[in-house]
Amino acid sequence: MKHFQQFQTAGKEPGLQVWRVEKMDLKPVPKQHYGNFYNGDAYILLYTTRGLSYNIHIWLGEESTVDEQGGAAVFATQLDNFLGGSPVQFREVQGNESLTFSGYFKSGIKYKKGGVASGFQHAETNEMNEKRLLHVKGRRVIKATEVDLSWSSFNKGDCFIIDLGKDIYHWCGSDCNHFERMKASQVAIHIRDNERRGRAKLHMINEGEEPDAVLGPKPNIPAGEDDDESTDRANKSKGSLYLISDAAGSMKTTLVAQSSPFKQEMLSPSECYILDNGADKKIFVWKGTGALNKQTALKVADHFIKQKNYPKNTQVL
């Protein structure tokens, strides 16, 4: 098939490979840009272990189109077939990625505005005329989201990176903690050393130390928002198990168990099941050896998410 040409080197060596969906074709992302994702695009990622087992991830930006999302699903299926059907497939949505996916990027995930349709490219050359502001958040997983380059985007509780190409400012609010400072510095250093290849100057500044020339005089800025960790912990304890059938092209869900614990004997190898933890924005698909193929199973999961009125950024694992 046409697109298998892009996969000739796929899975040959341990490590990560990344492609971006571009007008129903696939283009490899340069390694120095791994961890950068445009919010208007869709990506395919392949992680190969030393034992040559595989994880395939579909990553969908919050502004990606239905066509791009559908194209990513087709390419993921082609890659799965090219690798003999053995990979495990993941569906990742911007802002709610799995820990498996996030673990590939030790210096964090960076979300950039725009995409293929806007003419934005993962340039091979280091860009020295960049102007952007990244809002850095996360404890276990670092995520840096591009926001408006304005004081209105700041708060006292978080860290930000003012990226001006030749100069990178690592700015920390007066209420942020030491852990957040350390994580944000990893992102800033990664930008300097990889995207700029060491040619940018890194400035570490605290709130009140910023030069007016960067963004103008600093106005009063708000306090940071508290993360509701107690709600997250409560949500993770919820879950329901459903049997999924797709007879005559019409999906039907049957409740198997309302809550944990779930037992292996509840599962039939000829059936497909969904473990619904949508309250925590996660849907787990279990497919027996004689059940639906992978592509159909992922479509069933998407339909289930819509049926339950769960957020679009619900993970499918």
The whole-model pTM stands at: 0.68
**Residue range 10-115, CATH number:** 3.40.20.10
CA angle 168, 182, 189 (to 5 degrees): 35
CB 171 within 8 A of CB 163: no
Express each pLDDT in 135-177 by its tens digit.
998 777 788 999 999 999 999 999 999 999 999 999 999 998 8
- Quick one: average pLDDT of 54-73? 93
Closest CA to 82 of 34, 20, 17: 17
Query: Which residues, other chains included, contact 258 with Cβ-Cβ below 8 Å and sequence gap of 6+?
Result: 240
In the prediction, which pLDDT does 234 show? Answer: 43
Cα 240 to Cα 176: distance, rounded to the nearest angstrom: 38
309 versus 205: which is more confidently predicted?
A: 205
In the prediction, which pLDDT does 293 show? Answer: 63
Distances (CA, A) of 119 to 112, 240, 256: 13, 43, 48
Cα 125 to Cα 69: distance, rounded to the nearest angstrom: 28
Cα 108 to Cα 7: distance, rounded to the nearest angstrom: 26
Residue 278, classed as helix, strand or coil, is: helix
Confidence of residue 279 (pLDDT cuts 50, 70, 90): low
Confidence of residue 60 (pLDDT cuts 50, 70, 90): very high
Does residue 15 register a pLDDT over 60? Answer: yes
How does the average pLDDT of the chain come out, rounded? 83
Express each pLDDT in 67-119 by its tens digit.
999 999 999 999 999 999 889 999 899 988 888 999 999 888 999 998 886 65
Which of 92-106, 217-231, 279-293 is most confident?
Answer: 92-106
Percent helix, percent strand, percent coil in the chain, to nearest 5 = 30, 30, 45
State both tokens at 58: 């579909």
Q: 132-226: CATH homologous superfamily?
A: Severin (3.40.20.10)
Confidence of residue 210 (pLDDT cuts 50, 70, 90): confident
Cα 188 to Cα 169: distance, rounded to the nearest angstrom: 8
Does residue 6 register a pLDDT over 60? Answer: yes
The boundaries of every CATH 3.40.20.10 domain in the chain are: 10-115, 132-226, 231-316
In the prediction, which pLDDT does 11 show? Answer: 92
Cα 176 to Cα 232: distance, rounded to the nearest angstrom: 21
CB 164 within 8 A of CB 134: no
Does residue 121 register a pLDDT over 70? Answer: no
**Residue with structure tokens 């102007």?**
131
49 versus 121: which is more confidently predicted?
A: 49
**Residue with structure tokens 């605290």?**
206
Q: Look at the domain 231-316 and name its fold.
A: Severin (3.40.20)
In the prediction, which pLDDT does 126 show? Answer: 47
**For 167, phi and psi rounded to 5 degrees?**
-125, 130
